[in-house]
Chains A and B, each alone.
Chain A
Amino acid sequence: MADDTSKFDVSYVAYLARMHLTDAEKENISAQLNDILAYVAKLNELDVSQVEPTAHATPLSNVLRKDEVQPSIDRDKILKNAPEQARDLFIVPKIVE
Chain B
Amino acid sequence: MQYEAVIGLEVHVQLKTKSKMFCGCATEFGAEPNTHVCPVCLGYPGVLPVMNEDAVRKTILTGLMIGSDVARFSKWDRKNYFYPDMPKNYQISQYDLPLCVRGAVEIKLEDGQTKKIGVTRAHLEEDVAKNLHFETTSGVDFNRAGTPLMEIVSEPDMRTAEDAFAYLTALKEILISGGISDCDMEKGQLRCDSNVSVRPVGQKAFGEKVEIKNMNTISGVRRALAYEIERQKAALQKGEKVSQETRRWDDATGKTSVMRTKEYAHDYRYFPEPDLMPVVVSEDMIAEMRKLLPELPEAKRQRFVKQYGLPEYDAGVLVASATLAAFYERAAERSKNPKAISNWVTTELLGKLAEAKKTIDESPVKPEQLAELVSLIESGQISGKIGKEVFAEMFGSGKGASMVVKEKGMVQVSDAGSLEGFVEEAIARNPKSVADFRAGNEAAINFLKGQVMKLSKGKANPQLVGEILLRKLEGG
Residues of A within 8 A of B (CB): 12, 15-16, 18, 55-56, 58, 60-73, 75, 78-79, 86-97
In which size bucket is the chain B interface? Answer: 35 or more
Q: Confirm or deny: B407 has a beta carbon within 8 angstroms of a beta carbon on chain A.
A: no
Complex partner residue of A16 from B50, B131, B269, B278, CB under 8 angstroms: B269
A residues near B131, Cβ cutoff 8 Å = 95
- The 5 closest A-B CB pairs, nearest first, are A70-B24, A89-B139, A67-B54, A64-B53, A90-B140
Taking A55-B274, A62-B279, A94-B137 as known contacts, 11 extra A-B pairs with beta carbons closer than 8 A to each other, sorted by chain A number, are A16-B267, A55-B272, A61-B280, A64-B53, A65-B50, A68-B24, A73-B37, A89-B141, A90-B142, A91-B139, A97-B248
Residues of B within 8 A of A (CB): 17-19, 23-26, 32-39, 42, 50-56, 75, 82, 84, 89, 131-142, 248, 259-260, 264, 267, 269, 272, 274, 276-280
* Inter-subunit contact A88/B279 (CB<8 Å): no
- Measured CA separation A95–B37 after assembly (Å): 22
- Measured CA separation A63–B267 after assembly (Å): 29
B residues near A58, Cβ cutoff 8 Å = 277
- Measured CA separation A70–B54 after assembly (Å): 15
Minimum distance in angstroms from A25 CB to a CB of chain B: 19
Task: State the main secondary structure of chain A at its contact with B.
Answer: loop
- Measured CA separation A63–B25 after assembly (Å): 18
- B26: nearest residue on chain A (CB-CB)? A69
B residues near A87, Cβ cutoff 8 Å = 33, 139
- Measured CA separation A18–B86 after assembly (Å): 14
- Measured CA separation A60–B274 after assembly (Å): 12
- Measured CA separation A61–B39 after assembly (Å): 24
Given contacts A60-B277, A64-B53, A94-B136, contact A69 B38 (CB under 8 A): no
Minimum distance in angstroms from B210 CB to a CB of chain A: 17
Given contacts A68-B18, A92-B138, contact A61 B38 (CB under 8 A): no
Minimum distance in angstroms from A54 CB to a CB of chain B: 10
Minimum distance in angstroms from A68 CB to a CB of chain B: 6
- Measured CA separation A95–B75 after assembly (Å): 33
A residues near B260, Cβ cutoff 8 Å = 96-97
A residues near B269, Cβ cutoff 8 Å = 16
* Inter-subunit contact A67/B53 (CB<8 Å): yes
* Inter-subunit contact A91/B138 (CB<8 Å): yes
B residues near A62, Cβ cutoff 8 Å = 277-280
Of the A-B pairs whose beta carbons lie under 8 Å apart in the complex, a sample of 22, sorted by A's number, is: A16-B267, A60-B277, A61-B280, A63-B50, A63-B277, A65-B24, A66-B53, A67-B17, A67-B18, A67-B52, A68-B19, A69-B26, A71-B24, A75-B32, A75-B37, A79-B34, A86-B137, A87-B139, A89-B139, A92-B138, A92-B140, A93-B136
* Inter-subunit contact A18/B82 (CB<8 Å): yes
The listed residue with most A CB atoms (<10 A of its CB), out of B24, B50, B259, B267, is B24
